[in-house]
């Protein structure tokens, strides 16, 4: 930018400031490993120099396949400091999926953690990379790999520029799940990452005293921009390589964990853990990924968790809206408070707000019942899809990003998600919200989790079917669950079939993979035996 009093926005500035303001403060923890903010910044700078030595230049892609380890946190600064673009890969991807993404984004360098080398070995011969870097020990047959520590260039005499010329340049690429086709590369900008990180700080109520537990994968929407946010405020990152409810409860107690982000399924796991008990410190959990049921919100609050409910997509840097709590809600019964808190709310402070529209892009009535598509725009929305102008144009038809999510607008201006467009069950011409049915089933004291999908029906086209996981040592029959649901919703919404199963298929971030259930049920349109 040419104006003398305008500086291009970039989250890189957050680490530069934190290292100068909190040089000796603990910034990163993983088990016995600890690093101060001064050390954090020094490693990010050393990584940037090292990547530049390996040939990384303006907008070159640097891919990372790693769990929530300090090296991936450092990469959120070190890669863009080298002028490159960070591509953090989902650690649960199959080898073929990894190969596709590396080719699609034209990655120059792949950094892989030693625990994930088996994901790379089957595709080693296909890789078209200049360098493969391994965090830890291990090798890949047929590939010349270098150990991570050896690429770091600690030449402190070579200055690092913590600014950028173009705030709209791509800082990272995050790939969608690809459940309805090839995954798409969602481009984030320096400006968007900066502003979304600031939004996270405000809405999740972080301070320099925040001790953030990394329960959310950093590869997922760049951890909802939290690597940048916690660093901006000078908080402490507690890295966690895998979700383990007992370990999380231990870290709450030993490290003084004050904040974490998680899908509702992770909340369910924590609330039902044998170690679950109220903590001496306040704990704020920001939850998204699926609409949390009022039941789990109530249970979490009993343990002293403060729930911040947000909503968003990969295309919106993670969270885009937040269910802001109103002061007069405190006068309502706990169940009513939880019901209101389960809504997706209003646009976060850095956004252009959220709308619910019909197919003509006209806002639906704010009556809490008329269903439309949720659309968004502004600083909280992606730059576009990498190498896919047609998909980008379609996504922004009418000037707003089309989420593909269906919802209603309430009279108070709060949005409530009713379903993904593909998850709505259309039975005999009636729309049935799978979310509504799931929340009713989870309100039964024996139910831990539930997923509802539409299954083939000769008479109605499709009917809702439920898959239920019960709490440990709890027993309940399908008939009991149907009777429970029938007292809380219209009869036509009650599932004809309820399967009690051991576990639901989930992504690495805890989202239930309904497409797996749906694919199985629609294969051959076979007749099911009712429970």
Is residue 340 packed enough to be buried (19+ CB in 10 Å), middle (13-18) or exposed (0-12)?
buried
Architecture of the CATH domain 197-420? 3-Layer(aba) Sandwich (3.40)
- Residue 407: closest CA among 455, 364, 452: 364
Which listed CATH number (2.40.30.20, 3.30.450.40, 2.40.30.10, 3.40.50.980) goes with 34-153+163-196? 3.40.50.980
Report how far Cα 336 is from the mean position of its chain's Cα atoms.
Answer: 27
User: What does pTM read for this prediction?
Assistant: 0.84
SS3 state of residue 89: coil
How is the chain split among helix, strand and coil, in percent rounded to 5?
35, 25, 40
pLDDT of residue 525: 52
- C-alpha 179/C-alpha 253 separation (Å) is 38
pLDDT of residue 520: 86
Domain 425-525 has CATH 3.40.50.720: no
Domains 34-153+163-196 and 425-525 share a fold: no
Q: Could you say which residues of the chain have pLDDT below 70?
A: 1-2, 177-181, 290-291, 421, 428-431, 508-509, 524-531
DSSP 137-193: S--BTTB-EEEHHHH----TTS------S-TTSEEEEEE---TTSS--EEEEEHHHH
- C-alpha 452/C-alpha 465 separation (Å) is 6
pLDDT of residue 2: 58
Domain ranges of the chain: 34-153+163-196, 197-420, 425-525
Note the pLDDT tens digit of each residue in 163-176: 999 999 999 999 98
How many Cβ atoms from other residues are within 10 Å of residue 479's Cβ?
A: 11
pLDDT of residue 508: 65
pLDDT of residue 522: 80
Note the pLDDT tens digit of each residue in 440-486: 999 999 999 999 998 988 777 789 999 999 999 999 999 999 999 98
SS3 state of residue 393: helix
- Residue 139: closest CA among 165, 159, 112: 112
Decide if 62 contacts 170 (C-beta within 8 A).
Answer: no
**What's the CA dihedral at 76, 82, 85, 89 to 10 degrees?**
-50
What the block records as the tokens of 152 is: 């770091």
- C-alpha 216/C-alpha 507 separation (Å) is 12
């Amino acid at each position: 930018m040419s104006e003398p009093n305008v500086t291009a926005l970039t989250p890189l500035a957050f680490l530069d400031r934190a290292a100068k303001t909190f040089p000796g403060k603990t910034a990163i923890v993983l088990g016995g490993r600890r690093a101060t903010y001064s050390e954090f910044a020094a490693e990010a700078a050393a990584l940037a120099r090292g990547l530049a030595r390996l040939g990384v230049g303006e907008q070159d892609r640097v891919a990372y396949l790693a769990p929530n380890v300090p090296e991936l946190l450092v990469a959120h600064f070190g890669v863009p400091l080298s002028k490159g673009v960070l591509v953090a890969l989902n650690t649960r991807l199959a080898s073929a999926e990894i190969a596709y993404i590396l080719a699609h984004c034209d990655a120059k360098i792949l950094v892989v953690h030693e625990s994930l080398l088996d994901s790379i070995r089957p595709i080693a011969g296909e890789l078209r990379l200049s360098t493969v870097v391994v965090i830890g020990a291990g090798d890949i047959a047929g590939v010349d790999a270098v150990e991570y520590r050896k690429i770091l260039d600690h030449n402190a005499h070579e200055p690092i520029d913590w600014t950028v010329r173009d705030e709209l340049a791509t800082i990272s690429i995050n790939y969608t799940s690809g459940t309805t086709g090839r995954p798409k590369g969602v481009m984030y900008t320096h400006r968007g990452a900066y502003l979304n990180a600031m939004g996270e700080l405000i809405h999740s109520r972080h301070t320099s005293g925040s001790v953030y537990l990394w329960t959310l994968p950093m590869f997922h929407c760049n951890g909802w921009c939290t690597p940048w946010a916690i660093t901006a405020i000078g908080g402490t990152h507690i890295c966690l390589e895998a979700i383990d409810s007992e370990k999380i409860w231990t870290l709450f107690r030993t490290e003084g964990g004050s904040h974490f982000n998680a899908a509702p399924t992770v909340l369910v796991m924590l609330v039902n853990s044998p170690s679950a008990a109220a903590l001496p410190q306040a704990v704020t959990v920001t939850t998204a990924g699926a609409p949390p049921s009022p039941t789990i919100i109530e249970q979490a609050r009993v343990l002293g968790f403060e729930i911040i409910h947000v909503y968003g997509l990969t295309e919106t840097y993670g969270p885009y809206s937040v269910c802001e709590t109103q002061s007069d809600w405190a006068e309502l019964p706990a169940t009513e408070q939880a019901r209101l808190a389960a809504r997706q709310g209003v646009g976060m402070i850095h956004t252009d707000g959220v709308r619910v529209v019909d197919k003509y892009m006209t806002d639906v009535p704010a009556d809490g019942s008329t269903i439309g598509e949720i659309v968004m725009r502004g600083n909280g929305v992606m730059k576009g899809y990498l190498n896919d102008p047609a998909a980008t144009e379609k996504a922004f038809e009418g000037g707003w990003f089309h989420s593909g999510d269906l919802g209603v607008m309430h009279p108070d201006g709060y949005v409530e998600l009713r379903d993904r467009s593909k998850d709505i069950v259309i039975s005999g011409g009636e729309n049935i919200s799978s979310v509504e049915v799931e929340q009713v089933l989870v309100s039964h004291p024996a139910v831990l989790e539930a997923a509802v999908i539409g299954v083939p029906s000769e008479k109605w086209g499709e009917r809702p079917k439920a898959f239920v996981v019960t709490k440990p040592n709890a027993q309940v029959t399908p008939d009991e669950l149907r009777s429970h649901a029938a007292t809380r919703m219209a009869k036509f919404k009650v599932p004809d079939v309820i399967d009690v199963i051991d576990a639901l298929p989930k992504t690495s971030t805890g989202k239930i993979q309904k497409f797996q259930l749906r694919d199985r049920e629609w294969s051959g349109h076979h007749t099911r035996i009712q429970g």
